[in-house]
Amino acid sequence: MSLLAEPAVGARSRASFREFVDTAVAPYADRFDRDQKIPAEVLRQVAGRGYWGAVLPATDGGSGMDMVTLGVLHEEIGRGCSSLRSLLTVHTMAAWALRRWGTTEAREHWLPGLASGDTLGAFCLTEPAAGSDISLVATTAVRDGDDYVLDGVKQWITGGQVADVFLVFAKTERGLSAFVVDADNPGVRCTPVENALGTRASMLAEVLFAECRVPARALLGAEGAGRMVATAALDLGRYSVAAGCVGILQACLDASVAHTAGREQGGVLLREHQLVRRMISDMVTGVQAARALVRRAGELKDGRDPETLTATWIAKYFASTQAMRAATDAVQLHGASGCADGHPVNRYFRDAKVMEIIEGSSQIQQLTIAEHAYETASGGHS
Ligand SMILES: Cc1cc2nc3c(=O)[nH]c(=O)nc-3n(C[C@H](O)[C@H](O)[C@H](O)COP(=O)(O)OP(=O)(O)OC[C@H]3O[C@@H](n4cnc5c(N)ncnc54)[C@H](O)[C@@H]3O)c2cc1C
């Protein structure tokens, strides 16, 4: 069996996802990037296809996708537009966490909209002082009668401009805790973040919580369970980003093959130069290896195997660094045209850099993967 062969159901899903991306997303992604937004009509089309509620079961109004299929979906969307994939990532993280840890009341209130896409979710963890180190979160949630009152500021919130509900991490007396907060709460104020390096159409925002009062039903799990909720949600987000990076890799390969097969320099097509072929072969190898790592992480998730955590770190670390490398080579192979504003490889290059930073930076992943190696090695000898 070829490394890329997919089970029949997976292959059918990919064809359907691909058809959507090739008709409704990829041809317009540079315009989305320039306008720094995804049109509401496209977000509605995503809803019509059931992609917002991908991981929610049918009983909650979702599509009940398994994790391998979710990976294929996010790869295909990432091939067309990393900004749209980012919006799907954070929405999926919020919806999944709410379903897993939300109170019955909270689930009944928010899940139907999150499943249909009538309600968009976002993930609020990062703060000015708290990036890779989430123990530095300074946002507070103070119990006041039947409510909590949140105060603090969250930065770099994907989808913050359009989200209807936020999954917010704040410190209570018992430690980091997770809350669901409506965007139209009078204590919430969103300020758009413009001209970021990459994922420019992901409608980033800074989100301020000022005396933001929420009912107790907004708490996910128990007070102090926030680190566990964040870790699990970030694992899902990391998996989605890894899959999206496979999409960037594939897009870089497709664009580079097409360009070098059509442009002549030095009396021959660019594709005839051996140094050009080295870059193409590295992209082919990178995309196949990254796709296999993502699929393995997805299969472990579907099998509820805890080893998926490490497999997801490895998949995201490899896929994001390979995407950055492929995007660098894709710009190189396109020469000046690849540097032009509005050229897709220009966008892949900027988006790929972001992938090495979000959902655990490459350095944090290196540390985690190495730590796992030492833990499993010492476990094997004890
Ligand atoms: C486009 C975009 C979208 C985002 N969307 C969201 C979102 O939706 N929700 C959200 O909560 N956040 C979001 N983020 C924030 C993102 O999660 C953080 O940027 C990320 O966690 C890194 O934190 P930081 O930027 O503060 O960098 P820092 O943590 O300050 O790190 C800076 C550098 O130091 C390195 N470093 C840090 N610690 C160590 C260490 N122990 N050892 C070695 N090197 C280290 C890092 O690898 C990095 O290279 C987004 C960011 C971007 C750019």
> For 283-304, what is the mean pLDDT?
98
What φ, ψ does residue 199 adopt, rounded to 5°?
Answer: 40, 50
Q: Look up tokens 């000046």; give the residue.
A: 336
Residues 119-137, buried b or exposed e (16+ Cβ, 10 A)?
bbbbbbbbbeebeeebeeb
Per-residue pLDDT reduced to its tens digit, 33-63: 999 999 999 999 999 999 999 999 999 999 9
Per-residue pLDDT band at 1 (split at 50, 70, 90): very low
Q: Is the pLDDT of residue 382 over 50?
A: no
Q: Is 364 in the pocket of ligand 1 (CB under 6 A)?
A: yes
Residue 360's pLDDT is: 94
Nearest ligand 1 atom to the CA of 133 is: 29
Residue 8 pLDDT:
62
Annotated catalytic residues are 359
What's the pLDDT score for residue 6?
A: 72
Going by alpha carbons, the residue nearest to atom 37 of ligand 1 is 132
Closest atom of ligand 1 to 169 CA is 11
The pLDDT value given to residue 377: 87
Residue 363 beta carbon below 6 angstroms from any ligand 1 atom: yes
Query: pLDDT per residue over 218-273, tens digit each?
Result: 999 999 999 999 999 999 999 999 999 999 999 999 999 999 999 999 999 999 99
H or E element: which one contains 198? none
For ligand 1, is residue 130 a contact (CB within 6 Å)?
no
Report CA(173)–ligand 1 centroid distance (Å): 26
pLDDT value for 64: 94
Averaged pLDDT, 110-127: 98
- Taking only the tens place, the pLDDT of each residue in 153-184 is 999 999 999 999 999 999 999 999 999 999 99
Cα 130 to ligand 1 centre (Å): 8
Q: How high is the mean pLDDT of the chain?
A: 95
For 120-132, how does the pLDDT look when each residue is reduced to its tens digit (9 = 90+)? 999 999 999 999 9
Residue 96: name the closest of 235, 303, 227 by CA: 235
Please report the domains of the chain, with CATH numbers, ordered by start residue: 8-116 (1.10.540.10), 121-223 (2.40.110.10), 227-381 (1.20.140.10)
Q: Is ligand 1 within 6 A of the CB of residue 63?
A: no
| 332-381 per-position pLDDT tens digit | 999 999 999 999 999 999 999 999 999 999 999 999 999 999 999 875 44
Is 125 touching ligand 1 by the criterion CB < 6 Å? yes
Rounded to the nearest angstrom, the gap between the alpha carbon of residue 222 and the centroid of all alpha carbons in its chain is 26
Q: Please answer whether residues 238 and 313 qualify as being in contact, where contact means their C-beta atoms are separated by less than 8 angstroms.
A: yes
Residue nearest to atom 50 of ligand 1 (CA): 156
The rounded distance, in Å, linking the Cα atoms of 335 and 270 is: 11
pLDDT of amino acid 9: 61
Nearest to 123 by CA among 229, 213, 199, 219: 229
Cα 29 to its chain centre, rounded Å, is: 17
What spacing in Å lies between the alpha carbon of 357 and ligand 1's midpoint? 5
